[in-house]
């Protein structure tokens, strides 16, 4: 049973590189009646592409600590990042399916007097709005309709693996497009829409030239499709596109997290969006 | 390429989450779906075949093992339901356990140990947070010493520092 209150899981990139995403999420959730409480003992999720690639046991133990803390507080988790969503959702799923693994992880959690019983549901900001709040309520909250041509960017770990996420068609989804269009904006068609941004899996941190090739191909397809702004639901994709455009030549497409787009459309002050942290200027 | 089959490696992959490795029948849907394969020398099908053949040295010492972004395009489309990303992650774990780790990755791991987060805080973001009316230091282990101590104990219990060669 879903709980009405959520522990607001900040992750790393949003609070530490794009605080405007955190601020916009707080404001938009407040406007839409989503009750957030600070999760002030949370750590990194930890990141599914890097930390899980280094040591699966460390990854799941640290994720289980976050899950157990939310469970103890009697709240579910709300994430604003596909990485956090991917890690915590996948870890919760694995612990739910594998009693031996849960037992092993709980012997580690016992060192800090914690136990995870398997009762935490992990949600993503975007799907909570889409599935629980509903677009009718979003539309009623729009005070500043946006006439923008948008490239929606789902990222990878939001919908995939789709057999456990069960949110939308991973090859041809529509939920983010509908969420963006609820503001009055238009979601533009483009080639290879579901291609990865390139940042994940440790590619950006070690082989950034290769990561940039993904980014450039995406940007080209977005530009060719007639988009003028990118809307993402993951601070790491956000960072890859925002910082990536500074490194590449010929692109200057503002990058907004869905929370920032909604804050703008709901008439909140532009100064509250934290756009000065963006390297690609956001002139809207 | 010649190789000595190392069945212990195959069993280690299976024990580390790559149970489906032997289900692969080499159709190549993964390679055709891979965005990294379009940009780099990474070939998903080849890597899975090398895993099946127990080619430990050739895989864990290759740069290509780290060219996967874990986007799951391959896993989604695999007609044999092979959990390809899990197999790659298993091989990466075995590479790191053998002492093979890139500097950029080590830096991320070190940040997790030190900060409880994969990136550190800095003065610029503190000022930006303050200007937005947010707490200067985010309400996480960064601002909560007791919670950070607990996090440290988890890291100690899993031996993460040792695993990354610290």
> Three-state SS string across chain B, please?
CCCCCCHHHHHHHHHCCCHHHHHCCCCCHHHHHCHHHHHCCCCHHHHHHHHHCCCHHHHHCCCHHHCCCCCCHHHHHCCCCCCHHHHHHHHHHHHHHCCCCCHHHHHHHHHHHHHCCCCCCCHHHHHHHHHCCCCCCCCCCCCCHHHHHHHHHHHHHHCHHHHCCC
Q: Is the pLDDT of residue B1 over 90?
A: no
Q: Residue B166: which pLDDT band, with cuts at 50, 70 and 90?
A: confident
Q: What is the dihedral of CA B139, A157, A174, A234, to 10 degrees?
A: 40
% of chain A residues with pLDDT over 90: 98
Q: Residue A188: which pLDDT band, with cuts at 50, 70 and 90?
A: very high
Question: For the residues of A201-267, what is the DSSP string, one character each?
Answer: TTHHHH-HHHHHHHHHHHHHHHHHTT-SEEEES-HHHHHHHHHHHHHSSS----EEEHHHHHHHHTT
Chain B residues within an 8 Å CB radius of A217: 35, 38-39
Q: Is the pLDDT of residue A35 over 60?
A: yes
Q: Is the pLDDT of residue B149 over 80?
A: yes
CB contact under 8 A, A19 and B109: no
Q: Considering only CA atoms, which of B125, B147, B100 is closest in space to residue A44?
A: B147
Angstrom distance (rounded) from CA A191 to CA A18: 28
Chain A residues within an 8 Å CB radius of B130: none
* Tokens of residue B82, six digits: 């092979």
- Give me the pLDDT at residue B3, please: 56
Nearest to A12 among B36, B117, B164 (CB): B117
Nearest to B92 among A47, A53, A198 (CB): A53
**B73 close contact with A: CB closer than 8 A:** yes
CA of A186 vs chain B CAs: smallest distance (Å): 26
Chain B stretch 81-100, residues whose beta carbon is closer than 8 A to a beta carbon of chain A: 85, 88-90, 92-93, 96-97
Name residues whose C-beta falls within 8 Å of residue A198's C-beta, 6 or more positions apart in sequence: A204, A210, A211, A212, A213, A214, A215, A218, A240, A244, B35, B69
Query: How high is the mean pLDDT of chain A?
Result: 97
CB contact under 8 A, B160 and A210: no
CB contact under 8 A, B93 and A157: no
Q: Considering only CA atoms, which of A90, A54, A116, A104 is closest in space to residue B118?
A: A54
ipTM: 0.96
CB contact under 8 A, B39 and A38: no
Between A and B, how many residue pairs show a Cβ–Cβ distance under 8 A?
Answer: 213
% of chain B residues with pLDDT over 70: 98
Q: Is the pLDDT of residue A59 over 90?
A: yes
Chain A interface mutation, best of B136, B154, B159, highest count of A Cβ atoms under 10 Å = B154
CB atoms within 10 A of CB A99: 10
- Give me the pLDDT at residue A4, please: 74
Q: Is the pLDDT of residue A186 over 90?
A: yes
Question: Quick check: bond before A46 cis, omega within 30?
Answer: yes
**B44 close contact with A: CB closer than 8 A:** no
CB contact under 8 A, A22 and B134: yes
CB contact under 8 A, B125 and A54: no
- Give me the pLDDT at residue B119, please: 96
CA of A34 vs chain B CAs: smallest distance (Å): 18
Question: Are A152 and A191 spatial neighbours (Cβ–Cβ below 8 Å)?
Answer: no
A273 by DSSP, 3-state: which?
A: helix
- Reported in sequence order, the residue ranges of chain A that DSSP labels E, i.e. its strands, are 5-9, 35-38, 76-79, 122-124, 149-153, 186-187, 229-232, 255-257
Q: Is the pLDDT of residue B43 over 60?
A: yes
Query: pLDDT digits over A115-135, tens only?
Result: 999 999 999 999 999 999 999
Chain B stretch 115-144, residues whose beta carbon is closer than 8 A to a beta carbon of chain A: 116-122, 125, 128-129, 132-134, 138-141, 143-144
CB contact under 8 A, A274 and B153: no
Chain A residues within an 8 Å CB radius of B90: 56
Q: Residue A1: which pLDDT band, with cuts at 50, 70 and 90?
A: very low
Question: Are A122 and A162 spatial neighbours (Cβ–Cβ below 8 Å)?
Answer: no
CB contact under 8 A, A276 and B128: yes
Residue A256: what are its φ and ψ, rounded to 5°? Answer: -125, 140
Nearest to A55 among B40, B107, B163 (CB): B163
Nearest to A43 among B67, B125, B140 (CB): B140
């Amino acid at each position: 049973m879903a709980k009405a209150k959520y522990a607001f899981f900040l992750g790393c990139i949003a609070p530490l590189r794009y605080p405007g995403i955190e601020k916009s999420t707080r404001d938009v959730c407040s406007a839409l009646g989503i009750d957030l409480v600070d999760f002030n003992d949370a750590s990194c999720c930890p990141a599914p592409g890097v930390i899980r690639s280094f040591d699966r046991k460390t990854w799941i133990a640290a994720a289980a600590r976050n899950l157990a803390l939310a469970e103890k507080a009697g709240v579910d988790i709300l994430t604003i990042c596909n990485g956090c969503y991917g890690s915590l959702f996948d870890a919760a799923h694995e612990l739910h399916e594998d009693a031996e693994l849960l037992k092993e992880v709980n012997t580690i959690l016992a060192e800090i007097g914690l136990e995870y019983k398997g009762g935490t549901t992990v949600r993503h900001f975007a799907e909570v709005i889409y599935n629980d709040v509903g677009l009718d309520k979003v539309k009623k909250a729009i005070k500043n309709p946006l006439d923008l041509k948008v490239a929606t960017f789902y990222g990878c770990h939001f919908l995939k693996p789709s057999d456990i996420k069960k949110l939308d068609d991973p090859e041809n989804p529509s939920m983010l497009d509908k969420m963006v269009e609820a503001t009055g904006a238009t979601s533009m068609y483009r080639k290879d829409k579901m291609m990865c941004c390139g940042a994940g899996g440790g590619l950006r941190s070690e082989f950034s030239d290769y990561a940039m090739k993904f980014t450039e191909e995406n940007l080209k397809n977005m530009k060719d499709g007639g988009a003028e702004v990118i809307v993402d639901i993951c601070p790491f994709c956000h960072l890859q596109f925002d910082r990536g455009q500074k490194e590449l030549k010929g692109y200057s497409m503002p990058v907004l997290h869905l929370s920032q787009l909604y804050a703008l459309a709901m008439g909140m002050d532009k100064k509250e969006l934290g756009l000065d942290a963006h390297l690609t200027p956001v002139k809207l | 390429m010649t190789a000595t089959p190392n069945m212990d490696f195959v069993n280690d992959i299976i024990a580390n989450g790559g149970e489906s490795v032997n289900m692969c029948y080499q159709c190549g849907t993964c390679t055709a779906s891979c965005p990294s394969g379009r940009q780099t020398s990474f070939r998903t099908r080849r890597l899975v075949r090398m895993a099946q053949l127990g080619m430990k040295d050739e895989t864990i010492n290759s740069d290509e093992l780290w060219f996967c972004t874990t986007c799951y395009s391959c896993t989604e489309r695999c007609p044999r339901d092979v959990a390809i990303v899990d197999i790659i992650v298993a091989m990466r774990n075995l590479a790191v356990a053998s002492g093979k780790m890139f500097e950029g990755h080590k830096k991320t791991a070190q940040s997790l140990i030190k900060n409880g987060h994969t990136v550190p805080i800095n003065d610029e973001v503190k000022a930006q947070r303050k200007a937005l009316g947010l707490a200067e230091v985010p309400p996480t282990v960064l601002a909560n010493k007791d919670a950070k101590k607990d996090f440290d104990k988890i890291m100690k219990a899993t031996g993460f520092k040792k695993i990354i060669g610290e």
